A = this chain, B = another copy of it.
Amino acid sequence: MNRIVRHGVTSRWSDAVVHGGVGYFVEVPDDPGLDCEGQFRQVLQQVEQRLDQIGSDMQHLLQVVIYLPDPSDLTCFNEIWDAWVPSGHAPSRACIHAALAAPGYRVELVITAALIAE
Interface residues of A (CB under 8 A from B): 1-2, 4, 6, 9-17, 19-22, 24-26, 60-63, 65, 67-68, 71, 74, 78, 81-82, 85, 87-101, 108, 110, 112, 114, 118
Contact = CB atoms under 8 A, between A and B. Distances in A.
Contacts of A71: 99, 101
Nearest to A86: B11
Interface of A is mostly: strand
Q: How many copies are assembled? A: 3
Nearest to A22: B20
A112 B94 CA distance: 13
A25 B90 CA distance: 12
Nearest to A85: B11
